[in-house]
Amino acid sequence: MLIVKKFGGTSVANKERIFNVAKRIVEDYKKGNEVVVVLSAMGKQTDILLDMVKDINPKASKREIDMLLTTGEQTSVALMAMALDALGVPAISLNAFQVAMHTTSTYGNSRLKRIDTERILNELENKRVVVVTGFQGVNKLDDYTTLGRGGSDTTAVALAAALHADACEIYTDVDGVYTGDPRLVNNARKLKEITYDEMLEMASLGAGVLHNRSVEMAKKYSVPLVVRSSLNNSEGTMVKEEIKMEKMLVSGVASDANAARISVIGLEDQPGVAFKLFHHLARHDVNVDIILQSIGRDGTKDISFTVNKDDLEEAVATLERHRQGSLKCQKIDVERNVAKVSIVGAGMMSNAGIAAKMFEALYDVGVNIKMISTSEIRVTVLIDDEHLNKAINAVHDKFFTSRL
């Protein structure tokens, strides 16, 4: 078997943890597997380097920031190769130049385009464990680039795809994907399997186990993903195309407390109004989530939508700037204390009763629904954030407790 194993920064934060990870790698190697390891920078190293940037030049170019950040993973792969060697297993570390990992030109948030596999395959042939820097690539100028948030996951999945690996194991500080965030949902339990699409919805809803881009890539190349804990040996969650177990209508409950609602009230009821509104926001990189349009009074209409709390000020400022120009409206309302609760499940598209069951759960605990948005495999509601905890537990238990 060819296995790609990815470990995050906390898993390699110090000598003890490096050796813990090394021992897991040795186990797989000793069973006769070919092992490729993808690592992030140690512990808080990336943050430390970013603090140096702030100190030297807060407006530093992304090109130079990437040049600096890529030292982080190079440090961890070299140390891991040394640790494996100390345990008697031949290993070699490779950075993005040595692999090579070709990306788009963008610094700070580039995309992987192509991975050369020759060097890795040669090293595997020579019975070595290959330890590869995650998060980083090289663009056509021969400059370092980085892949942005969750970049090491993407590196691992892309390597697994390029090498036609038999498994791609993502090690995190949780031991799999849960029916709900265990920190919030009391009765959350671990899923044995989940589909790529469900995982995508979960990730975008703040479940945060895997970054969306890595899941998208896994789906595209049918990479068999496993999410496991680096702290224990429990089995983790398989992410794949179709799940074979008894078909579950709902796979999980996700929540996002980092939402805010903006209502633009009294817009002229003309073609192009919605276009203008969201065009202005897009130009300022404000991502908009749930959108709801309703008919207002006196031939006007109202548009409400949610944004990330971090983008709220930018969004409102943008709208206010255009209010006297192309965007005529009576009022811009902001609601900061809201949260999203979602249910996700590949099975729900053929079952109309799912959404109603969710709304019933919320009604049972007296939570008012402010907005509703649905996709084929997801139902999301917006509620007051003070009710978040009560709401997700109620929704979760409605779908899962009976089967616990």
Q: Is 143 in the site for a copy of itself (CB under 8 A)?
A: yes
Cis peptide before 83 (omega within 30 of 0): no
* Interface segment toward a copy of itself; rule CB under 8 A; list 56-64, 204-212, 292-300, 301-309: 56-64
Question: Considering beta carbons, is residue 81 or 225 the nearer one to a copy of itself?
Answer: 81
Strands (E), 248-391: 252-268, 288-295, 300-308, 331-344, 371-375, 378-384
Unique residue bearing structure tokens 């603090």: 51
* Cα(191)–Cα(102) distance, integer angstroms: 35
Strands (E), 73-219: 91-94, 101-103, 112-115, 129-133, 136-138, 144-146, 167-172, 193-195
Please choose, from the candidates 144, 154, 163, the residue with its C-alpha nearest in 3D space to the C-alpha of residue 105: 144
Selected binder of a copy of itself within 65, 130, 191, 227 (CB under 8 A) = 65
* Interface segment toward a copy of itself; rule CB under 8 A; list 72-80, 173-181, 226-234, 248-256: 72-80
119 half-sphere exposure, CB direction, 13 A CA radius: 16
Selected binder of a copy of itself within 95, 152, 154, 237 (CB under 8 A) = 95
Selected binder of a copy of itself within 44, 62, 63, 322 (CB under 8 A) = 63
Question: Considering beta carbons, is residue 15 or 297 the nearer one to a copy of itself?
Answer: 15
User: CB 47 → a copy of itself: shortest distance, Å?
Assistant: 15
DSSP 235-257: --EEEESS--SS--S--EEEEEE
Selected binder of a copy of itself within 25, 36, 77, 227 (CB under 8 A) = 77
Selected binder of a copy of itself within 61, 222, 337, 401 (CB under 8 A) = 61
Selected binder of a copy of itself within 10, 62, 97, 278 (CB under 8 A) = 97
What the block records as the tokens of 161 is 């795809």
Q: Is 193 in the site for a copy of itself (CB under 8 A)?
A: no
140 half-sphere exposure, CB direction, 13 A CA radius: 4
Instruction: Report H helices in 31-95.
Output: 45-56, 62-86
Contact between residue 173 and residue 164 where contact means Cβ atoms under 8 Å apart: no
Selected binder of a copy of itself within 50, 85, 193, 384 (CB under 8 A) = 85
* Interface segment toward a copy of itself; rule CB under 8 A; list 75-83, 180-188, 213-221, 242-250: 75-83
Q: Is 357 in the site for a copy of itself (CB under 8 A)?
A: no
372 half-sphere exposure, CB direction, 13 A CA radius: 9
Question: Considering beta carbons, is residue 68 or 369 the nearer one to a copy of itself?
Answer: 68
Q: Is 335 in the site for a copy of itself (CB under 8 A)?
A: no
| Alpha carbon 19 to its chain's center | 27
Please choose, from the candidates 368, 11, 13, 61, the residue with its C-alpha nearest in 3D space to the C-alpha of residue 175: 11
Selected binder of a copy of itself within 23, 57, 166, 186 (CB under 8 A) = 57
User: CB 140 → a copy of itself: shortest distance, Å?
Assistant: 13
* Interface segment toward a copy of itself; rule CB under 8 A; list 86-94, 177-185, 321-329, 364-372: 86-94
Selected binder of a copy of itself within 78, 291, 316, 334 (CB under 8 A) = 78
Selected binder of a copy of itself within 83, 194, 259, 303 (CB under 8 A) = 83
Q: Is 13 in the site for a copy of itself (CB under 8 A)?
A: no
Selected binder of a copy of itself within 11, 98, 146, 318 (CB under 8 A) = 98
N-to-C CA span, the chain: 35
* Cα(302)–Cα(312) distance, integer angstroms: 18
Selected binder of a copy of itself within 33, 75, 330, 373 (CB under 8 A) = 75
Please choose, from the candidates 186, 232, 241, 182, the residue with its C-alpha nearest in 3D space to the C-alpha of residue 208: 182
Other beta carbons less than 10 A from residue 403's beta carbon: 9
Q: Is 120 in the site for a copy of itself (CB under 8 A)?
A: no
Q: Is 221 in the site for a copy of itself (CB under 8 A)?
A: no
Selected binder of a copy of itself within 2, 13, 50, 67 (CB under 8 A) = 67
Positions that interact with a copy of itself (CB under 8 A):
15, 18, 49, 52-53, 55-57, 59-61, 63-65, 67-68, 70-71, 74-75, 77-79, 81-83, 85-86, 92-93, 95, 97-98, 119, 142-143
